């Protein structure tokens, strides 16, 4: 499997969930991976596991720690990884945060700022640091957005605003970087079977009618929102979309918003 053979990939938020899935899937297709996530004992342990999984596939992997809100830290982590792997061919700006605090007028400033800082500024920092280290022949940037960038999400306007913002950023970058043969696209997952969806707080929010809702209880609610008969997609489904946009199979695709949501954004009734 060689769709990413000879390519070096930077992935943020790589310690778990979709980030880890992207790292493993791209490595399966021949990529070497620079995996970046937050400093801290738990995060770094998870990041080490991502690195182990990539190396188990016979690919090179380098771990870097940085809070994407800190441009100097991101730059240092990227530069250290590039010294070991070589220039980047792909950037996957995956790191993000999501919560549902309530109606827009009730959101605390700190909660709002965190969403914008991590989801928007962090994505900008990742791309800004990564582009400086990209292969001179061009490459691909994949920004992980959300269906919250496509339709309203009552109770999470800070998240929806952030995801709309990075979609606009990606469209602009596609125009700015096209002459350098760098493509920029976004992937927009709906509900994904990761801890961001599969957790007690989300269960309680989606099933307030139950005292202790289970995964099965929540699956019933989410399945009704989809065109396809599933409650969520799997991380591999999003990673396959990332793979397509990272590989040469999409060599003339740029400025695209690729939605992976089982039809959630298209359902009309």
Query: Is 268 inside any structural domain?
Result: no
Tell me, yes or no, whether 188 and 211 share the same domain.
no
Give me the phi and psi of 251, to 5 degrees please.
Answer: -60, -25
Tell me, yes or no, whether 22 and 35 share the same domain.
yes
Tell me, yes or no, whether 221 and 99 share the same domain.
no
Kindly report, residue by residue over 46-99, the tens digit of the pLDDT.
999 999 999 999 999 999 999 999 999 999 999 999 999 999 999 999 999 988
Tell me, yes or no, whether 94 and 22 share the same domain.
yes
Tell me, yes or no, whether 91 and 38 share the same domain.
yes
Tell me, yes or no, whether 145 and 37 share the same domain.
yes
On the question of pLDDT at 206 being above 90, the answer is no
Answer for the pair 255, 171: CB distance below 8 angstroms, yes or no. Answer: yes
Report pTM. Answer: 0.94
Tell me, yes or no, whether 110 and 210 share the same domain.
no
Kindly report, residue by residue over 177-197, the tens digit of the pLDDT.
999 999 999 999 999 998 888
Give the whole-angstrom CA distance, residue 113 versus residue 93: 19
**Cα separation of the two ends of the chain:** 41
State the residue range of the domain holding 66: 8-192+234-261
Tell me, yes or no, whether 217 and 145 share the same domain.
no
Query: Is 220 inside any structural domain?
Result: yes
On the question of pLDDT at 1 being above 80, the answer is no
Tell me, yes or no, whether 57 and 130 share the same domain.
yes
| Residue 159 appears among annotated catalytic residues | yes
What is the CATH classification number for the domain harbouring 101?
Answer: 3.40.50.720
Kindly report, residue by residue over 102-143, the tens digit of the pLDDT.
899 999 999 999 999 999 999 999 999 999 999 999 999 999
Query: Is 58 inside any structural domain?
Result: yes
**Number of domains within the chain:** 2
C-alpha distances out from residue 153 to 138, 160, 255, Å: 36, 6, 23
C-alpha distances out from residue 114 to 54, 77, 103, 142, Å: 30, 22, 17, 22
Query: Is 29 inside any structural domain?
Result: yes
159, 160, 187, 233: the active-site residue: 159
Tell me, yes or no, whether 21 and 99 share the same domain.
yes
């Amino acid at each position: 499997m060689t769709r990413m053979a000879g390519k070096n990939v930077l992935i943020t938020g790589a310690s778990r969930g979709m980030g880890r899935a992207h790292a493993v899937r791209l490595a399966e297709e021949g990529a070497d991976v620079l995996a970046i996530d937050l400093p801290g004992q738990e995060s770094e342990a998870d990041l080490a596991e991502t690195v182990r999984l990539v190396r188990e596939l016979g690919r090179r992997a380098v771990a870097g720690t940085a809070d994407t809100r800190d441009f100097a830290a991101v730059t240092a982590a990227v530069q250290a990884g590039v010294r070991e792997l070589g220039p980047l061919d792909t950037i996957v700006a995956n790191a993000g945060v999501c919560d549902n605090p309530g109606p827009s007028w009730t959101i605390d400033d700190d909660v709002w700022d965190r969403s914008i800082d991590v989801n928007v500024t962090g994505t900008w920092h990742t791309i800004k640091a990564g582009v400086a280290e990209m292969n001179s022949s061009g490459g691909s940037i994949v920004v992980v957005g959300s269906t919250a960038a496509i339709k309203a999400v009552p109770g999470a306007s800070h998240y929806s605003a952030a995801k709309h913002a990075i979609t606009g950023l990606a469209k602009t970058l596609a125009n700015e970087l096209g002459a350098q043969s760098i493509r920029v696209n976004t992937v927009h997952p709906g509900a994904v079977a990761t801890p961001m969806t599969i957790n007690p707080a989300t269960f309680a929010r989606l099933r307030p009618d139950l005292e202790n809702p289970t995964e099965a209880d929540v699956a019933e609610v989410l399945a009704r929102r989809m065109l396809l008969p599933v409650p969520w997609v799997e991380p591999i489904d999003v990673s396959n979309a990332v793979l397509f946009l990272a590989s040469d199979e999409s060599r003339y695709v740029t400025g695209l918003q690729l939605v992976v949501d089982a039809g959630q954004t298209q359902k009309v009734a």
